[in-house]
Amino acid sequence: MDDGKLFIYSLGENKTTLLSKNSMRITGDPLWLPGSKELFCVAGSENYLFEVPTGKAKFVKIDVPYAKDSFGLDEQGKFLYFKVLDQATGRQGIYRVSLRNEKSEEMVLGDWMVKDAFLTGSHLFFTLQNATTPENLWMLNLQTKVNQSPA
């Protein structure tokens, strides 16, 4: 990326191709969808999947009324996970959206701060803390959607 532009470089052709549109400014790091030729990118408040090497962009609708950041993909590239912040109440959590049907789903949301979150296999690990509780590590089984402290 250069100044918010997204480029792809072909080693075989020794050629650089601009994937993002001229007016589009990519923010954050692109994410490769596992097993595909697509990249997920955030451009301001909009989200896109880019086909590589064509640069064809598909708008990804994320219908969540909160500020979003810290995006991550599951191992199959089916779901996009992200942290959310309700700016009116200060509540934080984690949501996911299906990249196939764009259906959003709350994973965790509450009166705490979500500091770190990462995916491994069928589990989402994250830390939570609030004014009265120190930071704790939690795990969410993505198949059963049961929260538990792994310690």
Query: Residue 82's pLDDT is what?
Result: 92
Contact 108, 117 (CB under 8 A): no
With a pLDDT cut of 70, the percent of the chain lying above it is 95
Is it the case that residue 18 has pLDDT exceeding 90?
A: no
Compute the mean pLDDT over every residue in the chain, rounded to the nearest whole number. 87
Domain ranges of the chain: 1-60, 62-151
CA distance 126 to 114: 7
Q: Residues 6 or more apart from 81 whose CB is under 8 A from it?
A: 71, 72, 73, 74, 94, 95, 96, 107, 117, 119, 124
Query: Residue 27's pLDDT is what?
Result: 86
Query: Residue 137's pLDDT is what?
Result: 92
What is the pTM for the complete model shown?
0.83
35-39 mean pLDDT:
88
Place of tokens 């191992």: 75
Query: Residue 81's pLDDT is what?
Result: 92
Is it the case that residue 7 has pLDDT exceeding 90?
A: no
Query: Residue 1's pLDDT is what?
Result: 47
pLDDT digits (tens, 9 = 90+) for 58-86: 999 998 888 888 888 988 889 999 999 99
For 59-77, letters b (16+ CB in 10 Å) and e give ebebebebebeebbbbeeb
